[in-house]
Chain A
C-alpha cells in the first residue's frame, strides 16, 4: 500500500473517532445523533476496505 494511501486511511480513522466522539457527547438532539451515524457509514466501510 503506498504511503499516501496509508495517510488517507489515518485521516479517515481520525474523522471516525471525531464523529463517534460527537455522537457520544450529544445528549439532546436525536437528529444530530442520527446524522453522525449516517456520515460514519461510508467512512467505516472504507476503513474496513469494503467500499
Chain B
C-alpha cells in the first residue's frame, strides 16, 4: 500500500460519519417525549418510583396518572406499552387519559409501562423509529419502541432467566420482557422492580381490576382475545359476549395457563386481590412473513403475504384486503376495557366504577384515533406531561 495514512484518514472520516449519523438518531429517539395532554378526568400524576423506590433516576421510571371520581367506588388500573412495539395499547390508553372522566371510583393509567422498551429500537428488523397519527390539528408523532427493555438500562442478559419466585426457567431475553417478570421484587433486575412497583400500586390502592393492553400477531393463536385466569374468567366471558352482541366484533376468552409464570394475567391474580385481564388485538406488523415494516403497514395492517396466508387458512383471525387498521385495534381495546369495567361494576355494585367520555369501537373506527387527541400547542401548560 502506497499511502496508508491517507487510506486510514478516509476510513476514519467514513467511520465518524456512520457513527454520528446513526448515534444521533438513536439518541434523539431515546430522549424523544410524546406530549400527553391530560384530560379533565386526571386528578393527580405520580411516578412509578413513588411505589418502588429502586426505579428512581432510572429510564424505567414512568408516569402514573390517577383519574379519581367524585364518588367513592372501585378502582381499575390500565397498563399499556408493556410491549412497546404494540402501539394500539399505548394509543388506547392515551385516548382514555386525554378524554375520560370518572364519576365513581378511580382509574389509574400507566401508558408507558415499560418506559425503557419504549425508548428502545429494533433496527435489525427494519422497524421505524417513529410513527405519526393524523389528528384534527395536524400529525402527532409517537416513538415506536421494542418488545424488551433497552440493554442500556438492564445488561447483561443472563444465559437463562430464572423467574422469581417460582424459579421457572425462561428464555434469557425474557429478563428484559416486563410481561415475564411479574410479580417482581424490590431488589431484582430493573424489570422486576417495574412489576413490583405496579404490584405495590395494586396492593396499596386496593385495585379491583387490572387491564394490560397488548397486540399480537395474526399467526399467533393467542390473538384477538381477552386472556384471563380462573378468577377473572366470568367477567371476561361476559365482556366478550357483550361486545360481540352489541358491537359486532370478536374478542374471545383465552384461559391464563397456570404453569407459565411471569405473565401479568397470571401473577397479578395470584399475588393480589386484583382481577387481571390481558387484551390482545391483532397487529399484522408483528407477523414474520410480511413485506417491509413500514409506518403505513403499522397503521393499516395491510399486507399481500398475509392475505395469501389467510386464503390458505394459516391465520388465527379473519383477514381480507382491508387489513387490520389501527382504528379497529384501538376501538376494540377501548370497548373491551369499558365492558370489563362495566361487567365488574354490575357484579360488585359497592365497588362499581363509572367512567364516561371514552369513545367505543364504532366511534373510533368512524372518526379515527387521532380525532380524540388534543393539540398540545393550545392546551394549558400544566395539563401537558412529556411522556
Q: Which residues of A contact B (CB under 8 A)?
A: 4-5, 8, 23, 26-30, 33-34, 37, 40-41, 44-46, 48-51
Contacts and interface: CB of A to CB of B under 8 A. Distances in A.
Contact of B27 (A26, A33, A37, A50): A50
Nearest to B7: A30
Q: DSSP class of B's interface residues: helix, strand, loop or mixed?
A: helix
B23 A50 contact: yes
Nearest to B58: A1
B160 interface: no
Contact of B152 (A29, A33, A51): A51
Interface in B110-136: 121
B245 interface: no
Contact of A37 (B1, B11, B121, B156): B11
A23 B151 CA distance: 27
B309 interface: no
Interface stretch (B14-22, B63-71, B100-108, B218-226): B14-22
A49 B12 CA distance: 21
Interface string B23-52: 100110010000000000000000000000
A51 B123 CA distance: 10
A27 B18 CA distance: 23
B15 A40 contact: yes
A5 B19 CA distance: 23
A30 B121 CA distance: 32
Contacts of B156: 4-5, 8
Nearest to A44: B19
22 contacts: A4-B156, A23-B8, A26-B4, A27-B1, A27-B4, A29-B1, A30-B1, A33-B11, A34-B11, A37-B12, A37-B14, A37-B15, A40-B15, A41-B22, A44-B19, A45-B22, A45-B26, A50-B26, A50-B30, A51-B22, A51-B23, A51-B152
A29 B12 CA distance: 15
B155 interface: yes
A41 B19 contact: yes
Contacts of A30: 1, 7, 11
Nearest to A34: B11
A28 B151 CA distance: 37
Nearest to B158: A4
Contacts of B7: 30, 33
B18 A41 contact: yes
Contact of A49 (B1, B4, B152): B152
Given A4-B156, A27-B1, A41-B18, A51 B12 contact: no
A24 B30 CA distance: 33
Contacts of A29: 1
B15 A41 contact: yes
Contacts of A46: 151-152
Contacts of A8: 155-156
Nearest to A24: B8
A42 B51 CA distance: 35
Closest 3 CB pairs of A and B: A37-B15, A50-B23, A50-B26
Given A27-B1, A51-B152, A45 B23 contact: yes
A23 to B, nearest CB: 7
Nearest to B152: A49
A12 to B, nearest CB: 10
Contacts of B12: 37
Given A41-B15, A45-B23, 7 more contacts: A26-B4, A28-B1, A34-B11, A40-B15, A51-B22, A51-B23, A51-B26
Given A4-B156, A8-B155, A27-B4, A48 B11 contact: no
A4 B154 CA distance: 10
Nearest to B4: A27
Contacts of B19: 41, 44-45
Contacts of A44: 19
Contacts of A51: 22-23, 26, 121, 152
Nearest to B121: A51
A49 B150 CA distance: 10
